[in-house]
Amino acid sequence: MSEAVHAFFDGLVKGGGRMLRQVSGTVRFDLRYPDRVDHWTVSIDQGQITVAHGEAPDVDTVIYTDEELFLRMAYGEVKPVSAWLRNDFTADGEFRLVMLLERLFAPPPNAYHPREVADCRHSRTAAECRNPPRATAASATDDGEPR
Amino acid sequence: MRGLVRILDGNIFALSEENGDMVFSPANPSGFFALDTRFLSTWRLSLDGQQLHPLAVHDASYYKIRFFLVPGNPTHYVDAKASVIRDRWISDSAFIERLTLLNHTNEPVDYVLRIDVDSDFAPVYNVVWPHDSTLRGYRKVSDGGLRLGYRREKFHRVTDVSSSEPAELDERGMTFRIQIPAQQRWSTTLRVEARVLRPDGADVRERLGHPQGRVGAPLDDDLSQWLADAPRLRCDWEQVTTTYQQGLVDLAGLRFSPLALPNETMLAAGLPWSATIIGRDNILTCFQTLPFVPRMAATTLRLLALDQGTVLDDFREEEPGKMLNEFRYGELAAFEHRPQSPYYGAADVTPLFVVLLDEYERWTGDAALVGELEDAARAALHWIDEYGDLRGDGYLWYQPRNDESGAQNHCWKDSPEAICYQDGRVPGLPRATCELQGYAYDAKRRGARLAREFWGDPAYADRLERQAEELKQRFNRDFWIDGSRYFALALGPDGDQVDALASNMGHLLWSGIVDPSRAAAVADHLLGPRLFSGWGVRTLATGQISYNPLGYHVGTVWPFDNSLIAYGLRRYGFLKEAGAIAEAVFRASQQFTGRMPEAFAGYERELTRYPVPYPAANSPQASATGATFLLLRTVLGLEPYGEHLVVRPAVPSSFGRIELLNIPGRWGRRDAIGSPRAAAS
């Protein structure tokens, strides 16, 4: 299902992630499939993102993962830093760009703005506020578009 | 915590008994720790089956120590026929121990020297808050040495133990059968490496360009260079010089290279339980030490900007623009039992980031960094209004979203009962503590300066200044308790005043949010009998129902807190009061051989005569160490003014003459000299 991967990177170029203007660097994603490895190179130049499909030898960081985990991170379902801590993917090169991965990916689905939580004045805890869950929660993860 | 012997190098450290042994039991915190994991929990030496006992322990430096041991129980005299020297140090992230066995007899003797080795691979959190722990993982003996490993899915931690001399290896340790000629010695060097392995067998740090320890020079050279670069202090009151020297060494010991900036160093927040990045402690310590060792501030600001929040995440209490509170690399963070990957549950770190960036530029003139961090600083300022102002009333509030493993209070007093009413009740949520409003005010004022002078955005600067002024007006109206004449500790969820008398309002003077007409009343409270113990300002005043002289945030005295309060008093012209706090805290440091403790008990000075340390405190603790530096800045009256360093000493008589030479800054190097005669008061 590398269509989903294509769709993600197309969306990334259009949406631009959440990069800061002062960030530059290159990250290559090596996505492992049973029969091949697909390479995607994300270049960040002063916050501007471009994507190339294919090998790029001189990059700052290489991320090795499979498509499933990649997409779960891309959709905001798995936090890149904890996945890295678990060794669910590995990184060579500059760790700085591992920390910045989150800026490329969609926000976690179902998260609350702190104001929404505070608005539940009568509840003492956030957990009570969340009952029942929000109506939008279910569908947000499926379309693959960052934001 | 008991007095364990420790060595450290940034976020790597070892704790042991007086004889150098680490003995495993659930409540025993000894071990060798790295990356928030205990890699060794058993490390016990015996000679011919006998335990060894210490005759002397010599801690030559923060990263090396020497134990002189004899077998058996020394009674009133020692007649050992053999002795052992254990030299221990940290090098390249490894724990090294050189064992030397000396035969004191005139015959050759056969010995059996044994070291027991084991590990529970416990996350450091479970060592701080003792859990039932068991020895875990696998053991593997090979030609090269003994490997202890722990796997969970792909998560893999390994302890590799090897010896320079041949040893008999088994899964529980190493045995040396040796014969030593008369009056001769034998030695071996044991090396313990803590490794974080990937599925391909490589250590993650090697593949991230991390130098595994200090960049370049060995630790000896590095320490002397660090000390030579720092300003030289001479003070008639010898204790002050001693505390300053100890402070410099402790800061050196706390330095480590973060993975994301592998060629720079910043501080671990405290040993042993905070050997990691803690946003608040890192920022405050940089602020405290800027006039002395300014370089760490740039690394700290860069690192926090790299890790700045970008999304809403309830578990980590992350929001766009928010600065992290704590980063951990261990199992609990990896498998999301705890949220520190990283955790953002703090409302103060984000405004303080802007405060530090501005203060850093004022000292160093490093305009490039102000440019590099423009977007991060703007996002931080935006966070205050968009995610901090929870009720849309212009105040900075917090309301935890992670009720299970997050902090209940998102300020430095983060323990659950710390924010309370005078009668001991705990307010509901959200809460807006007073010092947060001061930080937000200061951040907006300083952000305005950066916007005007560096970002070419005067309209933004005007807006920030207008907001700051409105916040100040509102704050002095809503937080001031008329009858008692002090600022409320917080506003509660209904906008009511949480009326405990606490040290927090001292920070308000630091931030400058206090209307000058109210400052004298605040100073009177801070130095009054309810808050001032004689050793410093208590976190919570006597007479409050929750007050407890041993309560972590409800009665103890914290040096870092006091340094900010003294600096704030000085800012409002209370020179004598600032000096009194500086004197009290240095006096207390005398009892701790110059090492500022994280906190000590709030007992009346008259009652105990000496400051009682808080039992579970970190030592060294970065921000406590930093107090020494900010107190010196306060009594010397050091302020950058344009391209110049202004020195306006207000030195209490107990200090005598103070000379601080070679103060680094945008002016190059300058000296500051002050003596009690020059004091204006």
User: B512-536: per-residue pLDDT in tens?
Assistant: 999 999 999 999 999 999 999 999 9
What sections of B115-188 are H helices per DSSP? 124-128
Distance from CA of B311 to the nearest CA of A (A): 5
- pLDDT for position A121: 52
Average pLDDT over residues B209-221: 61
Partners of residue A146 in chain B, C-beta under 8 Å: none
Judge: A92–B208 Cβ closer than 8 Å, yes or no: yes
Residues from chain A that touch B403, judged by Cβ atoms under 8 A, are 125-127
Q: Do A107 and B374 touch (CB under 8 A)?
A: no
If you average pLDDT over every residue of chain A, what do you get? 85
d(CA A39, CA A37): 7
Which residues from B are below 8 Å from A47, CB to CB?
375
Residue of A nearest to B153 (CA): A86
Look at A90 and B198 and tell me if their CB atoms are within 8 Å.
yes
SS3 content of chain B, % helix, strand, coil (to 5): 30, 25, 40
Task: Evaluate the CA torsion angle B295, B297, B303, B305 in order and state its sign.
Answer: negative
pLDDT higher at B608 or B651: B651
Task: Give the pLDDT band (50/70/90) at residue B214.
Answer: very low
Q: Left, alpha or beta for B320 (phi > 0: left; psi -120 to 50: alpha)?
A: beta
Chain B residues closer than 8 Å to A96 by CB: 260-261, 306
Going from the C-alpha of B556 to that of each of B405, B548, B587, B615, the distances in angstroms are: 25, 8, 16, 11
Which member of B156, B313, B319 has the closest CB to residue A87?
B156
Task: Give which of A12, A18, A20 to mutate to test B binding, by max B Cβ within 10 Å.
Answer: A20
Q: Are strands B12-16 and B94-103 parallel, antiparallel or unpaired?
A: unpaired
A and B: number of Cβ contacts within 8 A: 128
Structure tokens at A21: 């203007």
What span, in angstroms and rounded, lies between the C-alpha atoms of B347 and B353? 11
Check: CB of residue B102 under 8 Å from CB of residue B84.
yes
At A133 the pLDDT is: 41
User: pTM higher than 0.90 for the full model?
Assistant: yes
Q: How far A134 CA sits from the closest chain B CA (Å)?
A: 14
Residue B69, CB half-sphere, CA atoms under 13 Å: how many?
25
High-pLDDT (> 90) share of chain B, %: 85
Chain A hits for B373, CB-CB cut-off 8 Å, are 22
For each of the domains in chain A, give its residue range(s) and CATH number, in order of start.
2-103 (3.30.1050.10), 110-139 (no CATH)
Residue B679 has pLDDT above 50, yes or no: no
Q: CB-CB: which of B336, B372, B428 is closest to A82?
A: B336
Q: Closest-CA residue in chain A for B371? A: A22
Q: What is the pLDDT of residue B533?
A: 97
Choose the closest CB to A20 out of B154, B376, B399.
B376
The amino acid at B262: P
Question: Per the structure block, which two tokens stand in for B171?
Answer: 């899964």
B391 vs A82: CB contact, 8 Å cut-off?
no
Q: Is the pLDDT of residue B215 over 60?
A: no
Alpha carbon of B441: minimum distance to chain A alpha carbons (Å) = 21
- Reported as type and span, the H/E element at residue B161 is strand B155-163
Q: Which of B156, B199, B319 sits opposite A114 (nearest CB)?
A: B319
Q: What pLDDT does residue B74 have?
A: 64
Report d(CA A16, CA A29) in Å as an integer: 17
Please judge whether A111 and B313 are an interchain contact, meaning their C-beta atoms are less than 8 angstroms apart.
yes
> Do B399 and A20 count as a contact with CB atoms less than 8 A apart?
no
* Ordered structural domains, chain B, with CATH: 7-208 (2.70.98), 219-678 (1.50.10.10)
A93 with B209: Cβ contact below 8 A: yes
Beta-carbon separation of B334 and A82 below 8 A: yes
Whether the CB-CB separation of A85 and B341 falls below 8 Å is answered with: yes
Q: CA B593 to CA B480: how far, in whole Å?
A: 40
Helix (H, G, I), strand (E, B) or coil at B433: strand
Q: What is the pLDDT of residue B617?
A: 67
Q: Which DSSP category does B470 fall into?
A: H
**Which residue is it, tokens 């064992």?**
B99
What would the two tokens of residue B588 be?
């207390």
Name chain B contacts of A20, Cβ cutoff 8 Å.
305, 375-376, 379
Euclidean distance between CA atoms A55 and A59, whole angstroms: 10
Give the DSSP H or E segment for A30: strand A25-32
Indicate if the pLDDT at residue B554 is higher than 50: yes
Q: Residue B431's closest chain A neighbor by CA?
A: A118
Confidence of residue B133 (pLDDT cuts 50, 70, 90): confident
Nearest Cα of chain B lies from the Cα of A52 at a distance, in angstroms, of: 23
The DSSP symbol for B384 reads I
Mean pLDDT across A50-66: 93
Query: What φ, ψ does residue B567 adopt, rounded to 5°?
Result: -65, -40
Predicted confidence band at B132 (pLDDT cuts at 50, 70, 90)? confident
d(CA A24, CA A45): 5
Give the pLDDT score at B608. 85
d(CA B387, CA B397): 9
* Paired residues of B190 in beta bridges: B97, B163
Contacts of A126 in chain B (CB under 8 A): 314, 399-403
Phi, psi of B15 (to 5 degrees): -120, 135
B183-187 contacts, C-beta under 8 A, 24 or more apart: B183/B103, B183/B104, B183/B105, B183/B106, B184/B102, B184/B103, B185/B100, B185/B101, B185/B102, B185/B103, B186/B100, B186/B101, B187/B98, B187/B99, B187/B100, B187/B101
Strands B486-487 and B480-481: antiparallel
A14, with CB counted inside 10 A (0-12, 13-18, 19+), is exposed
B293 — phi, psi (to 5°)? -135, 80
Q: Which residues of A touch B340 (CB under 8 A)?
A: none
- Find, among B191, B194, B193, B219, the residue nearest to B97 by Cα: B191
The helix (H) or strand (E) run that includes residue B38 is strand B37-40
ipTM value: 0.93
What does the alpha-carbon distance between residue B345 and residue B334 come to, in Å, rounded to a whole number? 18
Nearest residue, CB atoms, A114 vs list B307, B401, B403: B401
Residue type, B366: D
* Short-list B259, B284, B289, CA closest to B269: B284
Which strand (E) or helix (H) includes residue A32?
strand A25-32
Contacts of B259 in chain A (CB under 8 A): 95
Q: What is the token pair recorded at A50?
A: 């471009």
Per residue in A108-120, pLDDT (tens digit) is 999 999 999 988 7
Mutate to test the interface with B, among A48, A87, A116, A131 (most CBs of B within 10 A): A87
